[in-house]
């Protein structure tokens, strides 16, 4: 099974998730970037629901020109298989350079997540 998030990423996602569920004003840097190598979908995840440890929030780009903020379950991402039978992968080299809101603005302008 592919490792979607590391323990350190999970800890940061949960920390951001606590802030989000407590209603704190939060515009974090994305923590992890997941993608399908053969289906043009990308997820920039910024927080994880501490109640279930599975529901992530972030910028979702399904490759259809309509990126948006939303939630996705990590367990669902683990079951996705692209057209060439490739699984969702973690971008091991992803280094966020802007806050989630900035990624959203750029993605809305271009129709996809860029960087």
Report the predicted TM-score, pTM, of the whole model to 2 decimal places: 0.91
Cα separations in angstroms, 80 against 1, 34, 70, 87, 94: 12, 12, 17, 6, 21
Sign of CA dihedral 96, 37, 75, 110: positive
H/E stretch holding 9 reads: helix 7-21
pLDDT of the residue at 2: 52
Residue spans per domain, the chain: 7-110
Q: How far apart are CA 101 and CA 54, in angstroms?
A: 22
What is the full per-residue pLDDT of the chain (115 aa) written as tens digits?
Answer: 458 999 999 999 999 999 988 888 789 999 999 999 988 899 999 999 999 999 999 999 998 999 999 999 999 999 988 889 889 999 999 999 999 999 999 999 999 998 7
Tens digit of each residue's pLDDT (9 = 90 or more) over 54-76: 999 999 999 899 999 999 999 99
> Measured in whole angstroms, how far is the alpha carbon of residue 67 from the centre of its chain?
12
* 113 contact partners, CB below 8 Å, separation of at least 6: 42, 44, 59, 61, 67, 103, 106, 107
Question: What counts of helices (H) and strands (E) characterise the chain?
Answer: 3, 5
């Amino acid at each position: 099974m592919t490792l979607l998030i590391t323990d350190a990423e999970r800890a940061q996602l949960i920390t951001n998730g606590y802030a989000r569920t407590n209603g704190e004003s939060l515009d974090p840097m994305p923590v992890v970037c997941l993608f399908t190598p053969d289906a043009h979908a990308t997820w920039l995840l910024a927080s994880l629901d501490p109640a279930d440890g599975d529901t992530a929030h972030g910028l979702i780009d399904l490759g259809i020109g309509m990126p948006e903020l939303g939630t996705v379950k990590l367990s669902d991402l683990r079951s996705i298989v692209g057209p060439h039978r490739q699984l969702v992968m973690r971008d091991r080299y992803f280094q966020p350079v802007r806050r989630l809101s900035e990624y959203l603005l750029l993605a809305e302008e271009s129709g996809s997540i860029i960087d």
